[in-house]
A and B are shown apart, each in its own frame.
Chain A
Amino acid sequence: MAEQKRFEKGKMVPVPSHSIIPERDLDKSPILECSHLGIDFGGLRAVDEFNITIGRTEIAGLIGPNGAGKTTVFNLLTKVYQPTRGTILLDGLDTAGKITAQINRMGIARTFQNIRLFSNLSVEDNVKIGLHNQEKYSALTGVLRLPKYWRQEKAAHERALELLSIFDMQDLASHQAGSLPYGAQRRLEIVRALATNPSLLLLDEPAAGMNPSETAELMENIVKIRDTFQIAVLLIEHDMSLVMGICEGICVLNFGRIIAKGTAEEIQANPAVIEAYLGKQQ
């Protein structure tokens, strides 16, 4: 594994596009830049004027009441939906016209709110499917089992176990993915996403259905993943202890629009956010 470098929770500084990123990422170009991103479903503006900048090693949070359009933003970033308006720059490259599989190869990996594992396959195979584009041998090599097949399969096996060990799941490698307990399935989805070697990891409600101690462990692990792989993380989460605990920059969405951006302290004090969550003070 890459040499670990621990990042302290960064001081956030503004960047030109009226977003903020951690100070340590200032000298590098941001990993993700969205400008004027939006999508309409018929007459409904599901997401509008979504502008965000995420630094190379930032852990960013996307929060908002139910139905605010958070998962839609993820689906736009990964091109499950094609945006109606706006641009997405990933590592400085425009993603217009790309399909989901290409977006993954460009560096975005994600997990899903409702778990989407390959449930009939083993845990190890799930991770190996994540490694699909790093294994480079043709279908014919696989059928003929040439030496290249054995070399790469051995490497994939070792890499899969190494990735599973992040969550201490290497002993579950031969289990069927669909038979795992709920929390383990969520963790496996993260491992599978990491296996695709992303530079930006999107986590859709990673702590959903977890108890407080599991959530605390997950928080540590997300930070550990960021430190180990030196990647950016954008997460959707309703558990405020997790969001306020690890997210450096937080973006609040309501009715498809960003209503606030800032650090945890700024968000907690923002009247618009309080109104969106608790309603207007009488």
Chain B
Amino acid sequence: MKNLKKTTKVDFATYIGVTLAFLIVSVLQGRDMLTNAMASWLVPVCCFIVMAVSLNLVVGISGELSLGHAGFMSIGAFSGIVASMSLSEAIPLAPLRLAVAMVVGAACAAVAGFLIGIPVLRLRGDYLAIVTLAFGQIIKDLITCLLVGYDKRGLHFVFNLDGLRSVNDLHLEEGGVAIIKGAQGAVGVTKLASFPAGYILVMIALVVVLNMIRSRTGRAIMACRDNRIAAESVGINVTKYKMIAFVVSAALAGAAGALFGLSYSGLASSRFDFNTSIMVLVYVVLGGLGNIWGSVIGAAVLYILPEALREFADYRMLIYAIVLILVMLATNNDQLKALVGRIIPRRKEAETNG
């Protein structure tokens, strides 16, 4: 174990920590020690952990500010729902259908990420932030206009851009179902998501992101972040590696979206608005930019906190905001860091000796 690199140890600690948390919560759930409210948090927490980890790949590792991450989640959610509903006869096995839905969600989000990335990642500066901000809004509005139905003949799409069309315009055969009904969103979704599926998705996201960071690809991505000109001078195609980071991040967000979408019986596109993107960004920033296990903890704590504060009703967002400010102050406090350093001096020594 001594020969393992520090980064390898941190990675393994992250995997073990997530697995332990999963086992403990599963045991508690099995013994009926969780309230209904708590049980309902489990899948969304997993989804938002994956969202935070994937956004960290763009913001922390690749160094580009993305403000439309909920847009990819939205694409993943609705394409996942459509896939799962239309395949319900072809694939009767629920876990397999969930997996297929997540793959479809990931693929659709990855395609969207690629298309946005082509023009934007070639630019320098804050353009990505502005375009992703607009993208999140556009996706939300487009899905509000979208009508999707499924019958024996296959999938039917109608864009309700003029606001005059309804489900009847899908011309479904008898026995067909409308999956997405415009502003109402998806309704009558068969809930497939489960906590173990969420755990598996979190682990996949962690393995993908952590393994990528420790490989040649990840080093190239971080090189582009640290110094673009130097990265070019050692033969790295900056646009290509920024694109890889962006697309992988979008795909993971899409998979998380599919899981999220299949954990509710109904879902409107307004659920994935600008606030959701910012919320995920807050998880990433408070967890630490480029710090993957920080994102896991940040997302878990900051998702549960406002939910747990529901009993304070009116004051909950106030308390949430105060906690955010206090965490910011604490993590940026040099005296506090020095104190922690004195309590665990061994760790510091080990770091410098590498």
Interface residues of A (CB under 8 A from B): 78, 80, 99-102, 104-105, 109-110, 112, 116-121, 125, 128-130, 132-133, 135, 137, 139, 141-145, 149, 152-153, 156, 173-175, 192-193, 195-196
B211 CB contacts on chain A under 8 angstroms: 142-145
Interface contact B227-A132, CB-CB below 8 Å: no
Interface contact B229-A116, CB-CB below 8 Å: yes
Question: CA–CA, A135 to B219, complex, Å?
Answer: 12
The one of A102, A125, A153, A192 in contact with B234, judged by C-beta atoms closer than 8 angstroms, is A192
B6 CB contacts on chain A under 8 angstroms: 174
Quick one: given A104-B235, A133-B235, A142-B211, are A121 and B219 in contact (CB under 8 Å)?
Answer: yes
- In the complex formed, the residue of A with least CB distance to B63 is A120
Interface contact A143-B207, CB-CB below 8 Å: yes
Question: CA–CA, A142 to B216, complex, Å?
Answer: 7
Interface contact B215-A99, CB-CB below 8 Å: no
Nearest Cβ distance between residue A149 and chain B, in whole angstroms? 7
* B220 touches A (CB below 8 Å): yes
* Most chain A Cβ neighbours within 10 Å, of B212, B218, B230, B352: B230
Interface residue tally on B, bucketed by range: 20 to 34
Q: Would you give the 0/1 interface string for B25-43, flagging 1 where the beta carbon is closer than 8 Å to chain A?
A: 0000000000000000000
Nearest Cβ distance between residue A135 and chain B, in whole angstroms? 5
* B232 touches A (CB below 8 Å): yes
Could you tell me the dominant secondary structure of chain B's interface residues?
helix
A129 CB contacts on chain B under 8 angstroms: 219-220, 223, 231, 234, 236
Please provide the chain B residues from 293 to 318 with a CB less than 8 Å away from any CB of chain A in the complex: none
* Most chain B Cβ neighbours within 10 Å, of A143, A153, A174: A143
Interface contact B218-A100, CB-CB below 8 Å: no
A143 CB contacts on chain B under 8 angstroms: 207-208, 211-212, 215
* B244 touches A (CB below 8 Å): yes
A175 CB contacts on chain B under 8 angstroms: 352, 354
Nearest Cβ distance between residue A39 and chain B, in whole angstroms? 17
* B18 touches A (CB below 8 Å): no
Quick one: given A104-B235, A129-B223, are A112 and B217 in contact (CB under 8 Å)?
Answer: no
Interface contact B223-A101, CB-CB below 8 Å: no
Interface contact B215-A196, CB-CB below 8 Å: no
Interface contact B218-A142, CB-CB below 8 Å: yes
